Chain A
Amino acid sequence: MAAEDEAKGPVERLVRWVDSRLGLSHPLLRPVPLYALNPAAWLGALTVVAFAILAVTGILMMLYYVPTPAQAYSSTSYIFNQVAYGRFIETVHLYTAYAMVLLMFAHMMRGFFVSVHKRPREMMWLVGMLMGGITLGFAFTGYLLPWTVISKSATDVAVGMISQLPPPLASLVSFLIVGPGGDAGELLRFYDLHIVVLPAALLVLLVVKMYMLEAHGISEAATRRGRAADKQKTAPIFPDVTLYLLELAAVFGTGMLLLGALFPLNLPPGYTPTTAGQYTAQPDWYFLWLYQILKISAFEGPGLAGIPAAAATGLLGVSLLLSIWFFRKGKWPLGFLGLAAAFAFGVSITILLGVTLLFAMLFLLPFLDVDEQRAIQNRPVFVTTGAIFVAELAVLAYWGLITPGQVIPTWEGAAVVGGTAALVGLGSFVAFRFARTRQSPGASA
């Protein structure tokens, strides 16, 4: 044994020493299948890395920040201009927060497409959805803290959107995040949520999710190439998987640093009611899609969830049933058309009911998509629905960005939402048709 150790290099001996003392490769953590060693499978881990970067930079800023309306902006400005590397820390904090939202969304949608939500990982999906909500909560609460004219105006718009939730929910959320204390109370609540409540909740959920991940292991590969790979081939958690993850984290960190170096932040003016009047308020980019939906003239203001919602629900049901019937009969174009119509009606209902339903559907996905099929090519309905969902979010967000403060006529909203759904549905139909033709070249003959 000693001779064998002697034969290894110094690096290998160091790795063995660290491993033996810390017990890193003790079989507490299961090894990872080799097919899972690709960046797409680690988007969730990168989201956690982003959270860690945010925690470090956030704690550094916390040393100087004062959460009162009178001092929030001046303390932010002090960090920016006087504190060593203050501008760098603020810039990296903001860009990493944006990256965390993007990574969370990419992680969720990748999971949706490759069926990670299926048995036995339903609860992991639910916990992940809660974590996604908390991530958005981080972004929402953190944006107000610098108390700049842009951040305060954007938060006011987003808080205004809460009033369009169903009434009991609107009152509860409004009480929780704004409270009765005016600007001072609002800022303090946002600060408390941002640095105590949300991190604690995220960490608890992270532990729960990691426990379930360890119990069930990484989900099975959804691609043919992945399934073909020998599942018995695994990599140990230390050093292989640990180093792999650290490499990904280092590359991600480099990207954030480079972005921060090339596009450093400039602090906008501080908030006063006068300066606020000179800006067209808009929420930050991750809420633009919601902002745009609520700007559509038919849906402005609360209390619209009445007859139109009931009619849209009925039409959604009929479209979905027709779509399933057409798919079963092999009439794909009509099936996709039904699906696009269902999505358009679904979006209408979602708008009318205050977007609650859309998230309820995503949250309950494991109980809606119960089929055993995992492969993307065998799940046309859900894959198409997911693609339409992503496209709608992107289109609505961009549309919201270029039309700040502008009320959108109902017909225009319906045309864009429905048109996007129809286009993506058609594209998906062509892609699935092409994939089927390639799978069975003799089928059409």
Chain B
Amino acid sequence: MKLAYRIVLLVLLVQVTATATLWTLNPTDPASQAVFATLLGIDLLGFAMVSYLYRSDKGKTGFSRPWVLVGCGMFAVLLLAILFLV
């Protein structure tokens, strides 16, 4: 399987997990609201990555590894932020 597809699968998995977790939060608790914002951020970032990989694959230019690494780094920051906020 292409590397791009593997990354997309991983991103989709993280997005589904983030979306499922959203529904478990207490909507009036300040800490939960901050976690909600972070999980929503993960979903948005995931969309951006999947879209970028799709465009790269369609354009047959291949994706830029530094950009994908930046995306993964941002994912890491968001996940760390959740740990910090909980």
Contacts and interface: CB of A to CB of B under 8 A. Distances in A.
Contact of B52 (A86, A88, A247, A262): A247
B37 interface: yes
Given A88-B33, A250-B47, A261-B41, 17 more contacts: A84-B28, A85-B33, A86-B28, A88-B37, A91-B37, A243-B54, A246-B47, A246-B51, A250-B48, A254-B42, A254-B44, A254-B74, A257-B37, A258-B37, A258-B38, A260-B34, A261-B85
A244 interface: yes
Interface string A228-249: 0000000000011001101100
B66 interface: no
B27 A84 contact: yes
B55 A244 contact: yes
B40 interface: yes
Interface residues of B, number: 28
A264 interface: yes
A82 interface: yes
Contact of B33 (A87, A239, A251, A254): A87
Nearest to B84: A262
A86 B52 CA distance: 32
Nearest to B71: A251
B31 to A, nearest CB: 9
Contacts, number: 78
Contact of B41 (A11, A81, A240, A253): A253
Interface of B: 27-28, 30, 33-38, 40-42, 44-45, 47-48, 51-52, 54-55, 58-59, 74, 77-78, 81, 84-85
- Interface range, A side: 20 to 34
A92 interface: yes
Q: Chain B: interface secondary structure?
A: helix
B41 A254 contact: yes
Interface in A234-292: 239-240, 243-244, 246-247, 250-251, 253-254, 257-258, 260-262, 264
A88 B78 contact: no
B38 A257 contact: yes
Contacts of A12: 58
Contact of A254 (B34, B51, B78): B78
Interface string A83-124: 111111001100000000000000000000000000000000
Contacts of B27: 84-85
Contacts of B38: 257-258, 261
Contact of A251 (B30, B34, B45, B81): B45
Contacts of B78: 254, 258
Nearest to A262: B81
Contacts of B41: 253-254, 257-258, 261
A71 to B, nearest CB: 21
Interface string A60-91: 00000000000000000000011111111001
A264 B33 contact: yes
Contacts of B54: 11, 243
Nearest to B29: A87
A261 B45 contact: no
24 contacts: A12-B58, A84-B27, A84-B28, A85-B33, A92-B37, A239-B55, A239-B58, A240-B55, A243-B51, A243-B54, A243-B55, A246-B51, A251-B44, A253-B41, A254-B41, A254-B44, A254-B45, A258-B38, A258-B77, A260-B37, A261-B34, A261-B35, A261-B85, A264-B33
